[in-house]
Amino acid sequence: MTKHGGMHGPLTQLSEEENLFFATVRQFAEETIAPMTRAMDEEQKFAAGLVERLFALGLMGIEIPEELGGAGGSFFDAVLAIEAISTVDPSVAVLVDVHNTLTINAIRRWGNESQQRRWLPRLAADTVGAYALSEAGSGSDAFSLQTRADEVEGGYRLNGRKLWISNAREAELFLVFATLDPGAGYRGITAFLVEKGTPGLTVGRKEDKLGIRASSTCELTLDNCEVAAENLLGEPGKGYKIAIETLNEGRIGIGAQMLGLAEGAWGHAVRYARERRQFGKPIVEFQAVEFALARMAMEIEAVRLMVYNAARLKDAGQPFVQEAAMAKLFASEVAERVASQCVEVFGGNGFVRDYPAEKYYRDAKVGKIYEGTSNMQLATIARQVLSSK
C-alpha cells in the first residue's frame, strides 16, 4: 500500500505522470486538508480558503480543455484526485467529485459552444457547480420528478423543491432537472443551468448528517424561478439521458471516494497497530490483527482494480455501465468493512473523536446510498449480465 498503483496490466497500471499527479494531490491533502478535517467535521463547513485552494491547484477543472482554462486532463485523472483526497477527508472529495464528474461533464457533453465558452472557464477558475436531481418523492425512482418547467416568453419558469443537493451552499451554478410534461414520464424531463442569485431560487437549510459533514447537502427551492431559453442544457425532454449518462460516470467517482476512504482507514489502522503495545509487544504482531490487516489490504486492492478498470474503459470510449455499477457497489461495501475493522483495531480509542477511525466509519455509510443505492446497482448489474447470456 505504500507505493501507489502497484498493480500490473494495461487497464490498471499508472503511468509516471499519473503517479506523480496522485502523489501531488495526496501531499496536498495530507499537508493542507488533514489539519482542518476535525474542525470542518465539527463545524459542518469547509475551512475558509479551502475551496479557493482547490481551484488554484487545478482540481476543479480537471477535464476542462486548456484553452477554456482547465487542466486538459482525463476522467481517470479526476478519479485519481477523488481517491487521493478521500484518503484524508471524503467530505472534500464530494465537492471535487460532484463538480467534476457530474456538473462539468454534463456541460462538456451536452452544452452548446456558447454555453461551454460561458461556463467552463468559470467552473475551472472560481465557480462551484451543483447537480439538482433528487426530490422528496424521487430518490431511487429518480425520474418521478414533481419540479415543473413551463415555457414562458423568452425562456422557462421553474417551480419545485429539490433535496439532498451536494455543494449547494458553495455553488454558483446549479444543473436543475424539471419536467416539461408530467404526462410524458421520463420523456418530459429537461435540464436547465440556473445561476445562484436568480430570482426565485433559494438554497435552504443544510442537512445535519451522520458523515461527510463538512460537505453541504441542502434543500433547493424554485418559486417562479425564470431562466432564459439559452440556459436550457441539451434538448427539451432529453434531461433523462443527461442524468443517466452523467450518473453512470459519477458512480465511478463514488467508487474512487470509497477506495480512498478505505485506504486512509487502513493506513491509520496499520500505524496504530504498530504503536499500540499489549502483553509486551505491538498488537500488529498478533496473528488476529495481522490477518485482519491483510484481508483489508486484499479487498482494497480488488476495489482499486475495479475502479481503475471502469475509469479506463470510460476514457477509452468503451461500454462501462456494468463495471461502474460493480465498482461502486463493491467499493462501498469494502469501505464500510475496512472502516469498521479500523475502529476495532483502535479498540476503545476507535470509538472516540480524539482519533480518526470513527470519522472514516461515519463517512463510509453514505457510499451505499447516494448516486444509486446498493440495490439499484445490483439491479443494473443483473440487467447487464443477464442480457448478455
Q: Which of 296, 300, 21 is nearest to 29 (CA)?
A: 21
Q: How far is CA 145 from the centre of its chain?
A: 22
The model's pLDDT over 89-115, given as tens digits with 9 standing for 90+, comes to 999 999 999 999 999 999 999 999 999
Q: What is the pLDDT of residues 244-301, one digit of tens each?
A: 999 999 999 999 999 999 999 999 999 999 999 999 999 999 999 999 999 999 999 9
| Residue 371 annotated among the catalytic residues of the structure | yes
Question: Are 252 and 306 contacting, i.e. CB atoms less than 8 angstroms apart?
Answer: no
Tell me, what's the pLDDT at 388? 67
pLDDT of residue 6: 41
pLDDT at 12 over 60: no
Q: Supply the pTM of this predicted model.
A: 0.95
Over residues 19-35, the mean pLDDT reads 97
Q: What whole-number distance in Å separates Cα of residue 256 and Cα of residue 85? A: 10
Q: Is the pLDDT of residue 8 over 90?
A: no
Instruction: Please provide the average confidence, as pLDDT, over all residues in the chain.
Output: 95
**Cα–Cα dist 173/196, whole Å:** 6
Rounded average pLDDT over 322-345: 98
pLDDT at 389 over 70: no
Catalytic: which of 18, 263, 299, 371? 371
Cα dihedral 217/334/307/64 (nearest 10)? 20
pLDDT score recorded for residue 2: 37
pLDDT in tens, 218-228: 999 999 999 99
> Which candidate, 257, 254, 237, places its Cα nearest to that of 87?
257
Under the banding of pLDDT at 50, 70 and 90, the label for residue 5 is very low
Does residue 197 register a pLDDT over 80? Answer: yes
Instruction: Place 165 in a pLDDT band, splitting at 50, 70 and 90.
Output: very high
- Residue 329 banded pLDDT, cuts 50, 70, 90: very high
Q: Which domains does the chain have, with CATH numbers?
A: 16-128 (1.10.540.10), 130-237 (2.40.110.10), 241-387 (1.20.140.10)
